[in-house]
Structure 1
Amino acid sequence: MSSAQSLIDSGKADIVAGRPASVAHLFLERVAATPNHEAYRYPASVDEQAADGAPGAEQWRSLTWAQTAVRVKAVAAGLMALGIQPEDRVALASSTRLEWILTDMGAMCAGAAITTVYPSTNADETAFILSNSGSRAMFAENAAQLAKAVEHIEQLPELRTVILFDEPAEAPDTAGLDLITLAELERRGAEYLEQYPDAVEKAVAALDKEQLATLIYTSGTTGRPKGVRLVHDCWAYEGRAQEASGLLGPDDVQFMWLPLSHVFGKTLISGQIATGHVMAVDGRVDRIIHNLPAIRPTVMASAPRIFEKVYNGIAGRARAEGGAKYKIFLWAAQVAREYARVVQESRIATGVERAPLGLRLQHALADKLVYAKIRAAFGGRLRGAVSGSAALAPEIGYFFLGAGVPILEGYGLSETSAGSCVNRKEDVRIGTVGRPLPGTEVRIAEDGEILLRGPGVMRGYHNLPEKTAEVLEPDGWFHTEDIGELSPDGFLRITDRKKDLFKTSGGKYVAPSEVEGKFKAVCPFASNILVIGNGRNYCTALISLDEAVLLPWAAERGLAGKSYAELAAEPAVHQLVEGFVKRVNADLQRWQTIKKFHLLPRDLDVEHGELTPSLKIKRPVVERTYADAVAAMYAGANEA
């Protein structure tokens, strides 16, 4: 193992070291400290808006911390009334909405352990997670989520109760399960608290920091998912570490739309409770663009795909306007990237952000013409957008940084409670995932693998001691299976997944994510790309395009009315993509270049099992699905 290790700010580490045993403790502290401050915003239901008689713009409701506590305690007491005991597993299958947070926090305050289930998970895998976790109860968003458990009820002998967020229009099949609504659970909880008014406080006081708090099943790019055991101390650490790092502050307004079933979204709840800022919650992806100007967030988090789509959308609109406006956009995009690079290099070299006068003047003009509109689209107050779960193309990062919308790329895994490293607004370094959070250590092993150690690291895989031993050393170091480099001042750069790194038949190693990132950076039409070449004598790629950007381009060229699949087969579209492939190849080593590519007849998606719910590509699945296309790209190949 290499001696390279990150430095930890001892002052900030001390703040983290003084954390309580759980986020439930942090929650009660937060309620006591700022009871009347706004805690959450959420969209009003259709019925509520109708009652208000307020057509038009969507209405928002809010809860103070004191109001939130009333509901959280009612949920906790309701679970106690159902007989849920400490560390009993309670599944939660729902999209991102206020009720997700209330029930998760309620379960933790009761001492139960939430098992998260993506709402998009199919019935078979949902049953596996419920069975493997031994879940006794389940929060389900609606009847569709309940039906997944009912379909495989014979595999779930321990499941007794399902609590629905949304009351069904008609009585669903329950297969003998006790079915109540969340409103009914809260009513029972309120009655329980009339008898035992300090029941929740006692339950929280009894929590041990090593007690199981959450089971998050890895989305798994291969095979069955593994249950990651995260204890109360993991979340308490994350809350304090995000606060100490300055990533989140008490005056922030955070827009939360990420899947809370994923560790990335859930860890940000810990930070929000620790700092006490406002969180606006709405998981409807189709509402993101509409919500931004309404919420006017100061911070939000996203997977890189969203930032790529935003960039592609901006570029596509500029292209559609044509002429001078498109030329202005291209010029402004180049100025943004150059300005961000120069300022970053100056900060690294001298500690001061400087740029030549000519570049500053260009940047100021581009700001008036282009960048100000981009910031306004994000609500006008965004001080930082955290990016995680996959690699962000540096060219995308430089563009947004230069435009005044810094994307703070971070790094973590389900096994490390998500938050391990992150860029800070005052010291963004594009191409890296920033420095470790206070209290987290990073090492680079002899083979280049990134190792992490700290309170956020899981305590093991559920009922899989052999798998745990493969990745978790006795002294606490976790093997990430990612390859990376650590700078002398503690910035971590991810170069590839250890499992994804492949060797061509010529003996040359290729990091596919590096090539894929470069292609996405130059091709505004790109949606997904999978570079292939393991054991082959050259690299190829499977490419899908962004339909929202492709269709307007096609219409301008006399191809209006054609479907995406039809366009993917058009010679003109193939020629368009080939031009971008050649641009990428010009900056690659010979053995990295994409010799051939195939345009997919549709985009990759979760429904077909090609993407995980956190939008990572399941490489083996995609290669199997398009095996014929891959074989055709290598048919008769004999070139070196």
Structure 2
Amino acid sequence: MAGKDNNNMDMDGVGFSLAIGALKALAFVYDVLTFPVYIILQRPWRLRQLSRTIKAKPIHDDIKSITYRSTVQPKDHHITLVREKIDTMAKMFEYCSKKYPNKRCLGTREILAEEDELQPNGRVFKKFVMGDYKWKTFSEVNILASNFGKGVRELGNPAGKNVAIFAETRAEWMIAAHGIFKQNIPLVTIYATLGDDAIAHAINETEVSTIITSYELLSKFKNILRMTPRVQTLIYMEDQLKGLESADGYKEGVQIIKFEDVIKQGAKSSIVAEPPKTDDIAIIMYTSGSTGVPKGVILKQRNLIATLKGFCDSTPIYETDIMIGFLPLAHVFELLVESVCQFAGVPIGYSGPLTMTDFSNKIQKGTKGDATVLCPTVLTSVPLILDRISKNIQERVSKSGNLKKVIFKFAYEYKSAWKKRGYATPLIDKLIFSPITNLVGGNMRLMIAGGAPLSPETHEQISTCLCVTIIQGYGLTETTSCACVQDLYDMTFGRVGAPCTICDIKLISWEEGNYRVTDKPYPRGEIIIGGDNISAGYYKLPEKTDEDFFEADGKRWFRTGDIVEVHEDGVVKIIDRKKDLVKLQAGEYVSLGKVEAELKTCPLVDNICVYGESSKDFCVALVVPNQQNLEDLAAKKGVENKSFEELCVNPVIEKAVVKELAEHGKKSKLAKFEIPAAIKLVTEVWSPDMGLVTAAFKLKRKDIQERYKHEINRMYAS
């Protein structure tokens, strides 16, 4: 029997070798025949030339700092904003409604019913019966926003008095925001994933009496209202299927009113709008920061318009595009990318994780998810979501037959090789990668990634398999999400782009971390950002504001704490973070964020938090494992008939994961002292509502360490 098996394996090996040989021969003939056509039609030398252009140049340098400025010229939309004297968000949307009155603006997928669906294992899940997208035109959205803003004023909230919005991303969120902007009411934005204490902190600190929320989140206020004595009015966005049957359980004296009723009230109002000026506060954005309680970042109208100009110059959005919106609008990154789309006349269809794809939790088997119905061309994302898509692709390929694996691997390498030379591969895209592109509607051409550095491996894989251009950006809430954006023609991976047209970046040596602007081959140091996009500071935190912000050279600047290197074309690569640097007992510095970014690309890892103590000579790590890949590893090690929870506490599996991480770390060129010597496998998935990651899925390091302090102590003791 063993002999027969070996013979079969030999036969398979011969078969695969023949298959690869045939593919290579076929590809060679195809290349010879099509090369003259492709070189004429695609003109790859233009792409290579554009990729090599200088994107930013030093305008000042000395032994301790270098200041860089973009070489890019303002594009048409930026010029229009200046020419039309658009210096507030109210003026921006008024302009859009006049330019594109009858164009589709905001779309919501209709939910017709909710039905039980029997699963193969006998369980019953609730699934939506979905209809088509229902659209509101720019003119309709403008009228609804105007009436909503007046309705809020009618409810007793004057211009200049803060209003909070605590809701998921949806069309009503954007309508409410524009309505409030029109009335010069500062908008306090709070992530829908924050815990009750953090929500109450933001509401109390900003002294709001009116809160806009959604039906889905309304019940949270039964508890929150007990902690927020100033709140008098709750406005809620209605659910498509359910209505509020009773106000029982809510604090007495608080008015609860439908979103639609506020609009109706505003439609009858004779209140005259009080439009904002460019230096008025537009937003107080509460960031679920990686340390401490959330801070309110003050963003003025001028800050939002500055970033809008910068994004218009760096983000290739066209009137023919369609955007799918699902990231939190409570973050200025999503808000302003959607604003770029509005300024370009692009319709935005809203979605969520439960209905986005054909395989999402609330989509009935055999019916279409939002992306399939909408067929979007533009999407914003954060690296964690792209990492998950990447691992999902790897998992699907690994489960396919051996021949399919060989074909996929050949196609991937073939496409990557030609892409690096500046060529597109339309036939390979159609034959091999179209099933993957259909997961997001089949028309996706551009993904804009922000919130954290995107690993080069994920960047390349998503770009190749989904046949899209990924533009990676870098910014912070304090810089109105704008600092650097990758050029459309940049053919490299792992860099965040050059400074935007509306701001300068300054590199300052950080002696303690051994990063200097005199370093070779590239200058390195802390990145400091200056321009009209820089926040006025932190709400009611003057000392913290003075610590992080300063004025110089006629600009306002923000100290980011991020360490970067700047390449000869003016493009920035993030390499470290001040707060993530740990000095081990032997004197080696470990950048925890850098190590996590590398180890997160390991197929076994869904999430990871690395920890180091200065009194020890090694690091340890808390690992959220990928369940399927952990089970596959267990099978290889002969550990069978164990639950996921049992595998996570199994010493054999723990040891095997440590070994896998060490091998992956070596491949990623991590030093031995950077690779965790001990790990703890964590069964719970870290989510924003647990308070362990931010809404942008950045680790809240202190909270994680506090939650798992006993496990960390045990790892070091072992």
State the TM bucket, normalised to the shorter chain: 0.7 to 0.9
**Equivalents in 2 of 1:327, 1:575: separation in Å?**
27
Residue number in structure 1 paired with 2:244: 168
Q: Secondary structure at the match of 2:235?
A: strand
Q: 1:37 aligns with which of 103, 121, 142?
A: 103
Q: What's 1:439 paired with?
A: 502
Provide the rounded CA distance (Å) in 1 between the counterparts of 2:430 and 2:237.
46
Which of 81, 86, 94 is the aligned partner of 1:20? 86
Alignment check: 8 A CA contact 1:408 1:422 kept: yes
Once the two structures are superposed, residues 114-163 of structure 1 have per-residue CA deviations (whole angstroms, 9 ceiling, x without a partner) of 11122222222211110101112100112743543x53546534322111
Q: How much has 1:612 moved relative to structure 2?
A: 1.4
Contact 1:267 1:419 in 2 (8 A): no
Residue in structure 1 matched with residue 15 of structure 2 by the alignment:
none
Match of 2:536 in 1: 459
> Is 2:468 the partner of 1:391?
no
Deviations 1:548-580 (A, max 9, x none): 655677789997875432232343575256324
Q: CA 1:151–1:11 in structure 2 vs 1: closer, same or farther (change >3 Å)?
A: closer
Alignment gaps of 5+ in structure 1: 50-54, 344-352, 355-359
Tell me the SS of whatever aligns to 2:532.
coil
Query: Which structure 2 residues correspond to residues 117-516 of structure 1 after superposition, within 5 A?
Result: 117-142=190-215, 144-145=217-218, 147-148=220-221, 150-153=222-225, 155-166=227-238, 167-172=243-248, 173-192=250-269, 195=270, 199-200=272-273, 203-204=274-275, 207-288=276-357, 290-335=369-414, 342-343=420-421, 353=422, 367=429, 370-403=432-465, 404-447=467-510, 448-475=525-552, 476-516=556-596
Whichever residue aligns with residue 630 of structure 1, its letter is: I
What are the Cα deviations for residues 10-47 of structure 1, in whole angstroms up to 9, with x where unaligned? 44475665551211101001001110011111111436
Cα displacement (A) at 1:371: 2.6
Q: Aligned in 2, Cα 1:596/1:88: closer, same or farther, shift over 3 Å?
A: same
| Distance (Å, rounded) in 1 between the aligned partners of 2:426 and 2:109 | 37
Structure 1 residues 544-583: aligned runs within 5 Å: 544-547=624-627, 550=630, 562-570=642-650, 571-572=652-653, 575=656, 578-583=659-664
Name the amino acid aligned to 2:245. Answer: A
SS of match in other structure, 2:69: coil
Which AA in structure 2 matches 1:33? K
- Specify the code of the residue in structure 2 equivalent to 1:138: I
CA distance in 2, matches of 1:128, 1:233: 27
User: What are the superposed Cα offsets for residues 304-361 of structure 1, whole Å, 9 maximum, x if unpaired?
Assistant: 1111111111111221224222344445445555555x44xxxxxxxxx37xxxxx9x
Once residues 169 and 545 of structure 2 are traced to their aligned partners in structure 1, the CA distance between those partners, rounded to angstroms, is 30
Query: Structure 1 247/174 Cα, relative in aligned 2: closer, same or farther at 3 Å?
Result: farther
Give me the identity figure in percent: 26
**Shift, 1:208, TM fit:** 0.8
- Segment of structure 1 superposing worse, 587-596 or 22-31: 587-596
2:331 maps to amino acid: H
TM-superposed deviation, 1:8 = 4.1
Measure the CA separation in 1 of the matches of 2:481 and 2:348.
19
Larger Rg: 2
- 1:60 matched to 2:133? The reply is yes
Once residues 674 and 657 of structure 2 are traced to their aligned partners in structure 1, the CA distance between those partners, rounded to angstroms, is 21
The aligned runs of 1:39-118 (5 Å cut-off) are 39-46=105-112, 57-118=130-191
* TM-score, scaled to structure 1: 0.88
Q: Distance in 2 between matches of 1:24 and 1:47?
A: 37
Higher strand share: 2
SS at match of 2:294: coil
Local SS of the residue matching 2:688: coil
Verify the 8 A CA contact 2:164 2:203 in the aligned structure 1.
yes
After superposition, the Cα gap between the structure-2 partners of 1:507 and 1:86, relative to the gap in structure 1 and judged at 3 Å, is same
Partner of 1:349: none
Superposition deviation, residue 531 in structure 1: 1.9
Asked whether the 8 Å contact 1:216–1:228 carries over to 2, the reply is: yes
Contact 1:408–1:423 under 8 Å retained in 2: yes
Report the Cα offset of residue 257 of structure 1.
0.4
Aligned to 2:684: 602
Contact 1:502–1:510 (Cα < 8 Å) also in 2? yes
Residues 1:9 and 2:72 aligned together = yes
Aligned counterparts of 1:6 and 1:116: Cα–Cα separation in 2: 31
User: Once the two structures are superposed, what CA deviation does each residue of 1:366-400 show, in whole Å capped at 9, x if it has no partner?
Assistant: 54553333223222222211111112111111222
Q: 2 CA distance for matches of 1:58 and 1:261?
A: 27
Aligned-partner Cα distance in 1 for 2:427–2:72 = 39
For residues 314 and 477 of structure 1, the distance between their equivalents in structure 2, rounded to whole angstroms, comes to 41
- Return the alpha-carbon distance in structure 1 between the equivalents of residues 266 and 129 of structure 2: 37
Between Structure 1 and Structure 2, how many residues are aligned? 604
Q: 5+ residue gaps in structure 2?
A: 1-63, 116-127, 359-368, 511-524
Query: What is the aligned-residue RMSD (CA, Å)?
Result: 2.7
Q: CA separation in 1, counterparts of 2:643 and 2:454?
A: 29
3-state SS in 1 of match to 2:458: helix
Bigger Cα displacement from structure 2, 151-160 vs 526-535? 151-160
Task: Answer yes or no: is the 8 Å Cα contact 1:319–1:326 preserved in 2.
Answer: yes
- Aligned with 2:702 (options 614, 620, 630): 620
Structure 1: distance between partners of 2:355 and 2:585: 44
Question: Bigger CA drift: 209-218 or 494-503?
Answer: 494-503
Deviation at 1:471, TM superposition (A): 0.7
The amino acid across from 1:532 in the alignment is Y
Q: Would the aligned equivalents of 2:357 and 2:439 in 1 still touch at CA under 8 Å?
A: no
Q: Cα 1:559–1:373, aligned 2, differ >3 Å: closer, same or farther? A: farther
Q: Residues 108 and 170 of structure 2 are in contact (CA less than 8 Å); yes or no, is this contact kept in structure 1?
A: yes
Cα offset for 1:541? 1.9
Structure 1 Cα separation of the partners of residues 632 and 160 of structure 2: 53
Match among 656, 660, 665 for residue 584 of structure 1? 665
Whether the aligned pair in 2 keeps the contact of 1:320 and 1:552 (CA below 8 Å) is no
The letter of the residue matching 2:670 is L
Q: In structure 2, what is the Cα distance between the partners aligned to 1:574 and 1:607?
A: 31
Structure 1 contact 313–549 (Cα < 8 Å) conserved: no
**Equivalent position SS for 2:268:** helix
Contact 1:239–1:273 under 8 Å retained in 2: no
Judged with a 3 Å threshold, the aligned counterparts in structure 2 of structure 1 residues 35 and 552 are, in CA distance, closer, same or farther, namely farther
Go from structure 1 to structure 2 and tell me whether the alpha carbon gap of 1:572 and 1:465 turns closer, same or farther (over 3 Å shift).
closer
Give per-residue Cα distances to partners, 1:230-253, cap 9 Å, x unaligned.
Answer: 011122222232223243232221
**SS state at 1:213 partner:** strand
Q: Secondary structure at the match of 1:294?
A: helix
Per mean C-alpha deviation after superposition, the further-off stretch among 404-413 and 476-485 is: 404-413
User: How far apart are 1:189 and its partner, in Å?
Assistant: 0.4
1: distance between equivalents of 2:657 and 2:415? 25
1:634 partner SS: helix
Give, as a single letter, the amino acid of the residue that structure 2 aligns with 1:310: I
Mapped to 1, the partners of 2:577 and 2:641 lie a distance apart of: 40
Q: Is the 8 A contact 1:320 1:553 kept in 2?
A: no
For the Cα contact (< 8 Å) 2:231–2:254, is it kept in 1? Answer: yes
Superposed CA deviations along residues 450-497 of structure 1, whole A, max 9, x for unmatched, are 111122211111111111011111231110111112223221111122
